[in-house]
Amino acid sequence: MDIDFPLVLTWAVLISGAIWLFDAVVLKPRRQIKPETDEATEPLIVEYARSFFPVLLLVLVLRSFLAEPYQIPSESMVPTLEVGDFILVNKYAYGLRLPVLGTKILAVDDPKRGDVMVFVPPHDDRYFIKRVIGLPGDTIRYENKVLYVNDVRQEYEFVQEFPEVIGTRTIAVKEYREILDGRPHATYRYPTKVSNGEWQVPQGSYFMMGDNRDKSDDSRRWGFASESNIVGKAVAIWVHKDPGLKLPTFERNQWFDE
216 is catalytic: no
Q: How far is CA 80 from CA 75, 165, 188, 244, in A?
A: 10, 20, 10, 22
pLDDT of residue 218: 96
> Has 16 been annotated as catalytic?
no
Catalytic residue from among 16, 76, 205, 216:
76
User: What's the pLDDT at 1?
Assistant: 39
d(CA 184, CA 176): 10
Is 224 within 8 Å of 207 (Cβ atoms)?
A: yes
Per-residue model confidence as pLDDT tens for the chain (258 residues): 355 666 776 778 788 888 888 888 887 887 777 666 555 677 888 888 888 887 877 777 777 667 788 889 899 999 999 999 999 999 889 987 777 667 777 778 999 999 999 999 999 988 999 999 999 999 999 999 999 999 999 999 999 999 988 888 899 999 999 999 999 999 999 988 777 899 999 999 999 999 999 999 999 999 999 999 999 999 999 899 887 778 889 889 998 865
Is the pTM value of this prediction over 0.85? Answer: no
Catalytic residue among 64, 130, 205, 216: 130
